[in-house]
Amino acid sequence: DIQMTQSPSSLSASVGDRVTITCRASQSMAIYVNWYQQTPGKAPNLLIYAASSLQSGVPSRFSGRGSGTDFTLTISSLQPEDFATYYCQETYSIPYTFGQGTKVEIK
């Protein structure tokens, strides 16, 4: 199984900050990575697919980069509604492993 190592596990930031979350895969997977946002009690919400494609309806302050084994999610200017937990996921092969999650909290 592919392992997805996500960092940091949590971070504190202020509104307007630029935030970057990293995910490293245990083997190369081209661009088969999704990024999700999840708030308590809700389902994951797809932000980025295929490493860098913005899902329809998602604000342009979210962006994704990477290929092979190293991937990043960047929020260019953090907004109050962005305080949530973020997950990367490999969509290359089953079992479609997720990273451990990054909780973004208000500083």
Partner 1 sequence: EVQLVESGGNLVHPGRSLRLSCTASGFPFGDYGLSWFRQAPGKGLEWVGFIRSKTYGGTTEYAASVKGRFTISRDDSESIAYLQMNSLKTEDTAMYFCTRHGGAADFDYWGQGTLVTVSS
Interface with partner 1 by CB under 8 A: which residues? 34, 42-46, 49-50, 53, 55, 87, 89, 91, 94-101
Least CB distance from residue 97 to partner 1, whole Å?
Answer: 7
Least CB distance from residue 8 to partner 1, whole Å?
Answer: 15
With respect to partner 1, which residue has the nearer C-beta, 15 or 30? 30
Report residue 15: phi and psi, to 5°.
Answer: -55, 130
Least CB distance from residue 14 to partner 1, whole Å?
Answer: 26
With respect to partner 1, which residue has the nearer C-beta, 19 or 36? 36
- Residue 5 vs residues 21, 41, 57, 92: alpha-carbon distances, Å: 11, 24, 27, 15
Pair 85, 103: CB distance under 8 Å: yes
| CA proximity to 89, closest of 76, 104, 81, 100 | 100
